[in-house]
Amino acid sequence: MKKAKFLLIREIGAGLWNELHHVLTQLLAAEILQRIPVIYWGEGSLYASKDGSNEFEQFFMPVSDYNIHDLAKDEFSYCPEWRNSMNLHLPSPWITGEIPGPAGDMGQVRDAHIDECGADVCVRDIYTEMERIIPSIPREHPLFGLDRRDLFRCLIRKYIRLQPEAQSFIDDFYNENMKDTPFLAVHIRGSDKITEVRHLQELNSRYPLEIEKILEMNPGIRIFLMTDCIEILEEYKKRYGELLVYTDCRRVPNNGLGVHFQEYPDNKRKGFEIIRDAWLAARCDFFIGNGYSNVSAGISELKDWENDRIRLLY
């Protein structure tokens, strides 16, 4: 029998949807390379709990029958070479800032986005754009020819299954606040997004016009608002009153550090709040989001939206 080879997908120390896009891209790489995928988010994750558990599996079901302990064996070879059975569980050096080995090793790891490395266990702990993987998809692969959004949508459908606790967290809010009512989901970024999107204020000023178009054409529809910003929530409460529905979650001032960087008494709650908003938005009838946001991108990928029911602002 051919010896099994593995692709270990580690955390990259980013926000949840950035982490998920990393995971999904590497799951596709695992399919192309015919490696068994194993996902482990350890202490380098922004959602790490204090018990040292696999943070990915706090929220989602495993993607294979193997775990990191199955991969931590002395007889296995690893890529990059500084990885071994004793340090396999440790955070990426790109997260801790401690890069082992000569600088050339870092370049090799950063370039190893799809090439077969030959090791028993190949560790992927650096974000790779899906566009770098797409050219390597074989013609006979069922996802060949799809664009980025459709690739992510198909991979989510195949691999991302919520843990029962996460599903209940979503369902409880939906049944109490949204059931049997048409909804427009709106995702507006504030806080530190301004450092990435210099025209964020101008972009955010365009939401009301887009919202009004949908309200006018759909009498009786309500708004499900997702925002990380305290001031934006207050503005929309005054503007839309009882039309507005929103979850009780952590928000920050308009000039505050991003919510995903905030410390929670239990970081599991941080992940649950993001998952709840995104999966609730995917149950809505329309969606308006920020085209520069991983969260908005994730919502656009969670279901096959009709073109006239989704609008991402740039």
Looking at the structure, tell me whether residues 147 and 200 fall in a common domain.
Answer: no
Q: What is the pLDDT of residue 107?
A: 36
Return the residue matching tokens 């649950």: 272
The parent domain of residue 136 ranges over: 6-159
Does residue 69 lie within any of the structural domains?
yes
Looking at the structure, tell me whether residues 24 and 152 fall in a common domain.
Answer: yes
pTM tops 0.75, yes or no: yes
CB-hemisphere CA count at 13 Å for 100? 10
Does residue 79 lie within any of the structural domains?
yes
Looking at the structure, tell me whether residues 247 and 170 fall in a common domain.
Answer: yes
Does residue 285 lie within any of the structural domains?
yes
* Residue 87 CB coordination number (10 Å): 13
Looking at the structure, tell me whether residues 81 and 114 fall in a common domain.
Answer: yes
Q: Contact 272/294 with Cβ under 8 angstroms?
A: no
What is the CATH classification number for the domain harbouring 209?
Answer: 3.40.50.11350
How many domains would you assign to the chain? 2
Q: What is the pLDDT of residue 196?
A: 76
Does residue 144 lie within any of the structural domains?
yes
Q: What is the pLDDT of residue 51?
A: 76
What is the CATH classification number for the domain harbouring 36?
Answer: 3.40.50.11340
Looking at the structure, tell me whether residues 45 and 140 fall in a common domain.
Answer: yes
The two tokens of residue 220 are 């009786």
Looking at the structure, tell me whether residues 79 and 220 fall in a common domain.
Answer: no
Does residue 1 lie within any of the structural domains?
no
| Burial class of residue 8, CB neighbours in 10 A (0-12, 13-18, 19+) | buried
How far is residue 248 from each of residues 110, 192, 270, 273, 309, measured CA to CA in Å?
A: 39, 20, 12, 8, 26
Does residue 209 lie within any of the structural domains?
yes
Going residue by residue through the chain (314 aa), what tens digit of pLDDT does each one get? 468 999 999 999 999 999 999 999 999 999 999 999 999 999 999 998 877 789 999 999 999 999 999 999 999 999 999 999 999 999 887 787 765 433 334 333 444 456 678 899 999 999 999 999 999 999 999 999 999 999 999 999 999 999 999 999 999 999 999 999 999 999 999 876 767 788 999 999 999 999 999 999 999 999 999 999 999 999 999 999 999 999 998 887 777 666 666 666 678 898 999 999 999 999 999 999 999 999 999 999 999 999 999 999 99
Looking at the structure, tell me whether residues 185 and 122 fall in a common domain.
Answer: no
Q: What is the pLDDT of residue 1?
A: 46
Q: What is the pLDDT of residue 250?
A: 83
Cα-only R_g, the chain: 21
Q: What is the pLDDT of residue 257?
A: 65
Looking at the structure, tell me whether residues 217 and 103 fall in a common domain.
Answer: no
Looking at the structure, tell me whether residues 48 and 120 fall in a common domain.
Answer: yes
Does residue 256 lie within any of the structural domains?
yes
- Among the candidates 100, 134, 159, a domain finishes at 159
Does residue 271 lie within any of the structural domains?
yes
Ranges of H-type helices in the chain? 16-33, 56-59, 68-71, 93-96, 103-111, 130-133, 148-159, 164-177, 200-204, 207-217, 230-240, 267-281, 294-302
Q: Contact 219/249 with Cβ under 8 angstroms?
A: no
Return the residue matching tokens 């080995």: 101
Looking at the structure, tell me whether residues 11 and 139 fall in a common domain.
Answer: yes
- Among the candidates 116, 141, 159, a domain finishes at 159
Looking at the structure, tell me whether residues 146 and 236 fall in a common domain.
Answer: no
Backbone angles phi, psi at 295, to 5 degrees: -65, -50
d(CA 28, CA 31): 5
- Among the candidates 159, 186, 219, a domain finishes at 159
The two tokens of residue 113 are 């986005």
Looking at the structure, tell me whether residues 237 and 130 fall in a common domain.
Answer: no
